[in-house]
Structure 1
Amino acid sequence: MKITGNTILITGGTSGIGLGLALRLHEAGNKVIVAGRRKELLDDITSEHPGIDALVLDVADPDSIARARETVAASHPGLNVLINNAGIMQLESILDPAGLQVAEDHVATNLLGTIRMTYAFLPLLAGKDDAVVMNVTSALAFVPFPSTPTYSATKAALHSFSESLRIQLAGAGAGAGVQVIEVVPAGVRTTLMGQQDSEQSMPLDDFLTEALGLLREKPDAKEIVVGSARFIRDAVATGSYDDVLAMMTSN
């Protein structure tokens, strides 16, 4: 992925990693569209950062995705990058019947939201120069955090989906030129799961600097894995999976 000169749509762009990427990529010389559910937050962002555009979007709602696609096709025909970042992360107890709704919400937002966004927007990207689908997953795609079982499962599914998507696009004429990048954070200090003050989590600015630095160094990368996520990402390959899972279980 080239780091400048793109037209980029970022889901979950009103806070955390999504907003951080939006601001950094805007500063780098890209046209950025932030998408999120809350219009008041979107209005604040566009007011404080002239040049960034906004789009009301709920990725858990197929009709909202369809409306967003038509809006972007008309307003930003040069769109060449989709960053699927929207997601939720909540504690979930499988022993509590109320946990089923938590699980279903994670699947609707984290997994189906990304899949539906990809299906909806891929036709707009196909054939564009330097086209990219970037999926933000998690180190928990590779070793689960047992207190968030369905969150971890959705991220594992997105890793698998990204791998298959990359291969299908490489073999399909209509998808020629669309790069698929998976971004793999570990814990980052955002409001997701109340990690904003966690000493165990990576400061957001540090994550953004490292992730975008890796992208600059390796624009053809399939995965962008920050250092704090590497030991989890590689747990199976290094034979440390059981130890890492035990560490996750004790947290």
Structure 2
Amino acid sequence: MDLSNRTVLIVGGTSGIGRELARRFVAAGSTVAVAGRSTTALAELAQEGIGTFTLDVTDGTSVALAREAVLAQYPQLDTVVTMSGVMHLEDLRDPAHFQAAQVTVNTNLLGTIRVTDAFTPHLIQQGAGTFVTVTSGIAYLPFPPMPTYAASKAAVHAYSEALRAQLKGTGVGVVELVPPAVATAGQEKVNPNALPLDAFATEVMQLLAQNPTPDEILVEGVHMHRWAERDGTYQDLVAQRTKALAMLPGRQD
């Protein structure tokens, strides 16, 4: 992928990985816009010269309005990155977890579908472009305290595979970005093994710049997750990660 002359929309790029990738695309020479809910973050990004749009991926009307605004300002849009996501701890012994599960699926999975649906006709009409969906290493190696997060990201992986197959021949590609734990939003305090954001973003941009661009963007730090079943380490790693259930209130077993 030539990173120097693209027009990129990053949905959910107001913080963390998305915000850093927005800056990296700008530095590479691309035109970049970010869509999200945080008005404060959007204002900060606007001061950096990045286009900004208000968008809530859980609201179909919001997505549709944002699509019209984006395409009016950036009719040459050729790259859509879907970053929006939430992570919740859930105790599956407590039925009250269901609300968190609903929010997670509505944001992580249905939000991704709403965004891709919104921009698919435009990219097909152009005859060229790329969707970048974002999953997680947890999609491949579950983290038991976050069951619906893992399930939603696994679903986005499967959806990305199907989207790629259905768009074959249209000129529109689908690239899946699979982050490991990255040191954003305090992750470095919870997980001392979290990959520094700067190093992660550098590796991602290097992988995206390959020609042809890989279907999956896998930094070195996520290989243990992605290939656990192939490498025969899956059961041991899941057992090890199950110890983290002690994070849940009242769960010491």
TM-score (norm 2): 0.92
Residues 196, 57 of structure 1: alpha-carbon distance in 2 compared, 3 angstrom cutoff: farther
CA drift of 1:250 comes to 2.0
Specify which of 154, 164, 167 is matched with residue 165 of structure 2: 167
Partner of 1:30: 30
CA drift of 1:3 comes to 1.2
Q: What amino acid does structure 2 have at the position aligned with 1:78?
A: Q
* % identical equivalent positions: 45
CA drift of 1:168 comes to 0.7
Partner of 1:103: 101
1:108-136: per-residue Cα shift (whole Å, max 9, x none)?
A: 00000001110111111114365000001
Q: What amino acid does structure 2 have at the position aligned with 1:195?
A: Q
Q: What amino acid does structure 1 have at the position aligned with 2:8?
A: I
Kindly indicate whether residue 4 of structure 2 is the aligned counterpart of residue 4 of structure 1.
yes
1:3-42: per-residue Cα shift (whole Å, max 9, x none)?
A: 1211111011110000000000011111101111022220
1:71-121: per-residue Cα shift (whole Å, max 9, x none)?
A: 112111111100011101111111223211100000000000001110111
Q: Between Structure 1 and Structure 2, how many residues are aligned?
A: 243
Q: Tell me the secondary structure at the aligned position of residue 156 of structure 1.
A: helix
CA drift of 1:248 comes to 1.6
| Alpha-carbon distance in 2 for matches of 1:217, 1:76 | 25
Kindly indicate whether residue 204 of structure 2 is the aligned counterpart of residue 211 of structure 1.
yes
Q: Tell me the secondary structure at the aligned position of residue 69 of structure 1.
A: helix
Kindly indicate whether residue 177 of structure 2 is the aligned counterpart of residue 179 of structure 1.
no
The answer to whether the 8 Å contact 1:14/1:35 transfers is: yes
| Alpha-carbon distance in 2 for matches of 1:29, 1:130 | 19
1:130-162: per-residue Cα shift (whole Å, max 9, x none)?
A: 500000110111111110000000000000000
Specify which of 90, 94, 103 is matched with residue 88 of structure 2: 90
| Alpha-carbon distance in 1 for matches of 2:16, 2:175 | 19
| Alpha-carbon distance in 1 for matches of 2:188, 2:43 | 23
Q: What amino acid does structure 1 have at the position aligned with 2:80?
A: L
Partner of 1:45: 45
Structure 1: 4+ residue segments shifted above 6 A: none
Q: What amino acid does structure 2 have at the position aligned with 1:124?
A: H
TM-score (norm 1): 0.93
CA RMSD, 1 decimal: 1.3
| Alpha-carbon distance in 2 for matches of 1:56, 1:219 | 33
Q: Which residues of structure 2 form unaligned runs of 5+?
A: 245-253
